[in-house]
Amino acid sequence: MAVINQPNSQIRLTNVSIVRMKKGKKRFEIACYQNKIQDWRSRIEKDIDEVLQIPLVFINVSKGLVANNEDLLSCFGKTNQDEIILEILDKGEIQLNEKERNANLQQKQNEFLTIILTKCISSRTKKKYPPSMILKALNELKFHLNPVKPAKTQALEAIRLLVSEQLIPIARAQMQVKVVLLCKVKDQVWDEHIMPLFDHIEDENQGSKLFSVTGIIDPINYKAILDLLQGENALIRKGQGSIEVLNMATIKED
């Protein structure tokens, strides 16, 4: 709880979130309501009175120390509190309390694990691992989630480490698909556009009218193939090619 000392009273600020900006050699802060700062920055909230607990610029919110005009003029080149508050609110660093930090970390960890669980399976059972096993393996490998780095970047790093070390039998989940093309359009799309998107070809069949291929792709390439065959800017007319998913969680056998 922050307290602002004034001559005859004290203003107590509860549920406060602080936005901080360092300007020159001094630090300036504003006191905002929790959960309102991001709403303001994303333009969901447009009423600044709903964001600010009190329209003052502070040197230290928790101690109730208000910035004086001399400091504001020296560091911002002006003393207009409203203009300075807007600058801090838009560009300052949000100081999270412990509850908010824990909530954000939990959200990031959930996102991190979801990416890994979606992209990986057991190389033995071809099934997904429970989150607890992934976390245990990462702990043994001394991989710890960084609250600052993006969850996706860290998840991909973790996947590379898990697959490389094989502490548990794990592999990148791939997709088994079947692509069918009319023979007359095969040369337009197969060799140059679709074949490079396959990680492994298991079966290829050339008939008098139809050309079909079964193989393994990275799931990220599924939409690319679909767009080539059926998208708005497809290379062939609708009905001349198709893609069918045979298995959502498979791996390429060596």
Which superfamily does CATH assign the domain made up of 98-172 to?
SBDS protein C-terminal domain, subdomain 1 (1.10.10.900)
What mean pLDDT is reported for the chain? Answer: 88
Mean pLDDT of 190-209: 94
Q: Are 168 and 162 in contact (CB under 8 A)?
A: yes
| CATH code 3.50.50.60 for 2-95 | no
Q: pTM, whole model, 2 decimals?
A: 0.56
Query: Residue 98 pLDDT > 80, yes or no?
Result: no
Q: Which residue from 84, 103, 109, 83 is spatially nearest to 35, judged by alpha carbons?
A: 103
Which is more confidently placed, 214 or 173? 214
| Measured CA angle at 20 (ends 57, 5), to 5 deg | 40
- Please state, as a whole number, how many other Cβ atoms lie within 10 Å of the Cβ of residue 50: 12
What pLDDT, in 10s, does the model give residues 140-188? Answer: 999 999 988 899 999 999 999 999 999 999 998 889 999 999 999 999 9
Query: Residue 85 pLDDT > 90, yes or no?
Result: yes
CATH for 174-250 is 3.30.70
* Backbone torsions φ then ψ of 32, nearest 5 degrees: -125, 165
What pLDDT, in 10s, does the model give residues 44-56? Answer: 999 999 999 999 9
Query: Residue 1 pLDDT > 70, yes or no?
Result: no
In this structure, of 41-55, 87-101, 182-196, 198-212, the range with the lowest mean pLDDT score is: 87-101
Q: Are 51 and 40 in contact (CB under 8 A)?
A: yes
Query: Residue 96 pLDDT > 90, yes or no?
Result: no
Query: Residue 13 pLDDT > 70, yes or no?
Result: no
pLDDT band at 42; cut points 50, 70, 90: confident
Distance between CA 208 and CA 70 in Å, rounded? Answer: 86
The full DSSP string for the chain is -EEEE-SS-EEEE-SEEEEEEEETTEEEEEEEETTTHHHHHTTS---GGGTBSSS--EEETTTTEEPPHHHHHHHHS---HHHHHHHHHHHSEEE--HHHHHHHHHHHHHHHHHHHHHHEEETTT-SPPPHHHHHHHHHHTT----SSS-HHHHHHHHHHHHHHH-SS-EEE-EEEEEEEEEHHHHHHHIIIIIGGGEEEEEEEEE-SSEEEEEEEE-GGGHHHHHHHHHSTT-SS-TTSEEEEEEEEEE----
pLDDT band at 6; cut points 50, 70, 90: very low
Task: Return the pLDDT at 162.
Answer: 96
In this structure, of 21-35, 73-87, 93-107, the range with the lowest mean pLDDT score is: 93-107
Tell me the domain boundaries of the chain: 2-95, 98-172, 174-250
